[in-house]
Amino acid sequence: MKLSITLATSRRILAQLRHDHRTVGLLIGVPTLLMILLRYVIDNPDAFDRWAPMLLGVFPFIVMFIVTSVGTLRERTGGTLERLMTTPLGKLDLLLGYALAFGLLALVQVGVVTAVSVTWLGLDLAGSIWSLVLVAVLDALLGMALGLFASAFARTEFQAVQFMPAFVLPQALLCGLVVPREQMASWLEWISAVLPLSYAVEAMLELSRGDEFTSTLARDLAVIIGCVIVSLMLGAATLRRRTA
Q: How far is the CB of 227 from another protein (least distance, A)?
A: 29
Nearest alpha carbon to residue 125 among 215, 221, 205, 214: 205
Nearest alpha carbon to residue 34 among 115, 122, 113: 113
Q: Tell me whether residue 79 or residue 130 sits nearer to another protein (CB atom).
A: 79
Contacting range for another protein; rule: CB under 8 A; set: 13-21, 124-132, 147-155, 222-230? 13-21
Among 89, 99, 141, 145, binds another protein (CB under 8 A): 89
Q: Tell me whether residue 89 or residue 125 sits nearer to another protein (CB atom).
A: 89
Nearest alpha carbon to residue 107 among 14, 210, 214: 14
Q: How far is the CB of 8 from another protein (least distance, A)?
A: 4
Work out whether 88 is an interface residue with another protein (CB under 8 A): yes
Work out whether 155 is an interface residue with another protein (CB under 8 A): no
Q: How far is the CB of 219 from another protein (least distance, A)?
A: 39
- The C-alpha atoms of residue 213 and residue 127 are separated, in whole angstroms, by 8
Q: How far is the CB of 74 from another protein (least distance, A)?
A: 9
Work out whether 12 is an interface residue with another protein (CB under 8 A): yes
Work out whether 3 is an interface residue with another protein (CB under 8 A): no
Q: By CB under 8 A, what part of segment 19-58 binds another protein? A: 19-20
Work out whether 15 is an interface residue with another protein (CB under 8 A): yes
Contacting range for another protein; rule: CB under 8 A; set: 6-14, 24-32, 55-63, 229-237? 6-14
Contacting range for another protein; rule: CB under 8 A; set: 24-32, 81-89, 109-117, 225-233? 81-89
Q: What is the DSSP string of 56-108?
A: HHHHHHHHHHHHHHHHHHHHHHHSHHHHHTTSS--HHHHHHHHHHHHHHHHHH
Q: In this structure, is the dihedral angle defined by the CA atoms of residues 165, 99, 94 and 63, taken in order, positive or negative?
A: positive
Q: Tell me whether residue 132 or residue 160 sits nearer to another protein (CB atom).
A: 160
Helix axes 45-78, 91-119, angle to 10 degrees: 150
- The C-alpha atoms of residue 24 and residue 18 are separated, in whole angstroms, by 8
**Contact between 16 and 168 (Cβ < 8 Å):** no
Q: How far is the CB of 12 from another protein (least distance, A)?
A: 4
